[in-house]
């Protein structure tokens, strides 16, 4: 499910969590093989125990592009 490379030899997309400034998230700096896996982790982090009252998401999701750059997909979506 997780990988340390933005793209595989076959060109599959990778997803990562970033903060609202577009930097890799300081506490959840992982790569995911699917958009859904990235959403699930972002939502799990946002709803972590001890967070108190519900808080607005501080995580957005990016997808790797063919040229190796990242494109922001926005806030995680619930299923």
pLDDT, mean over the chain: 80
| 4 vs 54, more confident | 54
Domain spans of the chain, in order of start: 2-74
Q: What is the predicted pLDDT for the residue at 31?
A: 94
Q: What is the predicted pLDDT for the residue at 62?
A: 95
Statement: residue 44 has pLDDT above 70: yes
Q: What is the pTM of this model?
A: 0.74
3-state secondary structure the chain: CEECCCCCCCCCCCEEEECCCCCECCCCCCEECCHHHHHHHHHHHHCCCCCCCCCCCCCEEEEECCCCCEEEEECCCCC
User: pLDDT confidence of 46, banded at 50, 70, 90?
Assistant: confident
């Amino acid at each position: 499910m997780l990988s340390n490379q933005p793209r595989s030899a076959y060109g599959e997309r990778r997803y990562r969590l970033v903060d609202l400034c577009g930097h890799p998230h300081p506490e959840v700096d992982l790569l995911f093989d699917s958009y859904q896996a990235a959403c699930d982790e972002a939502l799990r982090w946002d709803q972590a125990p001890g967070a108190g009252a519900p808080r607005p998401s501080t995580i957005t999701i990016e997808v790797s592009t063919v040229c190796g750059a990242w494109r922001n997909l926005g806030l995680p979506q619930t299923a």
